[in-house]
């Protein structure tokens, strides 16, 4: 029986982002929508729940396998907004479009998705009104009707890498 292999942690390559300022989110369907980003949470990647592979021949351990497909998790942003944005939201909500997260190091993540939610926060004296905006990645090109992976662009030029 094979045993797992011990692996030492290597030194990471590349440069880590040291400050979250300035991270922006752009919608191709409306690049000038009246949101002012306060914080942005990019989409994550989820491999899904394990596939149960246990049989009556197992003797000590339940066995599992990784799934084949991955899911991009929703992105969120907290933003200040113009109250007139409601007309823009009605026009933008559920529209499948290209969405770009611009990172502080000038790189970008581009993916297909849609604006799922615009949830204004409480309005009260002495605080800036904000809204929570939720974007759902679809990984589906609505124009060509095909699966489309997210694209990471290391220099924000639009060329992709």
136 and 77 in contact (C-beta within 8 Å)? Answer: no
Fold of the 24-45+74-153 domain: Elongation Factor Tu (Ef-tu); domain 3 (2.40.30)
Rounded-to-integer distance, Cα 49 and Cα 13, Å: 29
Higher-pLDDT residue of 2 and 54 is: 54
What pLDDT does 15 receive? 87
Rounded-to-integer distance, Cα 80 and Cα 92, Å: 17
What pLDDT does 141 receive? 97
Pairing of strands 51-52, 24-27: unpaired
pLDDT digits (tens, 9 = 90+) for 83-128: 988 999 999 999 999 999 999 999 999 999 999 999 999 999 999 9
Higher-pLDDT residue of 157 and 107 is: 107
What pLDDT does 2 receive? 87
For 148-161, what is the mean pLDDT?
81
SS3 label, residue 18: coil
What pLDDT does 160 receive? 56
Name residue, tokens 């880590």: 16
pLDDT digits (tens, 9 = 90+) for 46-94: 999 999 999 999 999 999 999 999 999 999 999 999 998 899 999 999 9
pLDDT band at 14; cut points 50, 70, 90:
confident
pLDDT band at 36; cut points 50, 70, 90:
very high
What percent of the chain has pLDDT above 70?
97
φ and ψ of 143, to 5 deg: -80, -50
Q: Is residue 39 pLDDT above 80, yes or no?
A: yes
Parse the chain into domains and list their residue ranges: 24-45+74-153
Q: Is residue 159 pLDDT above 60, yes or no?
A: no
What pLDDT does 70 receive? 97
């Amino acid at each position: 029986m094979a045993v797992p292999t011990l692996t030492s942690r290597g030194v990471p390559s590349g440069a880590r982002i040291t400050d979250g300022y300035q991270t922006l989110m752009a919608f191709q369907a409306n690049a000038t929508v009246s949101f002012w980003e306060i914080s942005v949470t990019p989409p994550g990647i989820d491999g899904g729940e394990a596939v149960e592979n246990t049989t009556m021949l197992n003797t000590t351990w339940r066995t599992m396998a990784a799934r084949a497909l991955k899911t991009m998790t929703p992105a969120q942003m907290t933003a200040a907004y113009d109250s007139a944005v409601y007309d823009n939201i009605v026009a933008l909500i559920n529209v499948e479009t290209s969405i770009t997260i611009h990172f502080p190091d000038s790189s970008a993540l581009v993916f297909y998705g849609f604006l799922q939610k615009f949830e204004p926060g409480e309005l009260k004296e002495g605080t800036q009104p904000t809204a929570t905006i939720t974007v759902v990645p679809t990984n589906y090109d609505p124009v060509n009707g095909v699966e489309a992976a997210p694209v990471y662009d290391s220099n924000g030029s639009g060329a992709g890498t």
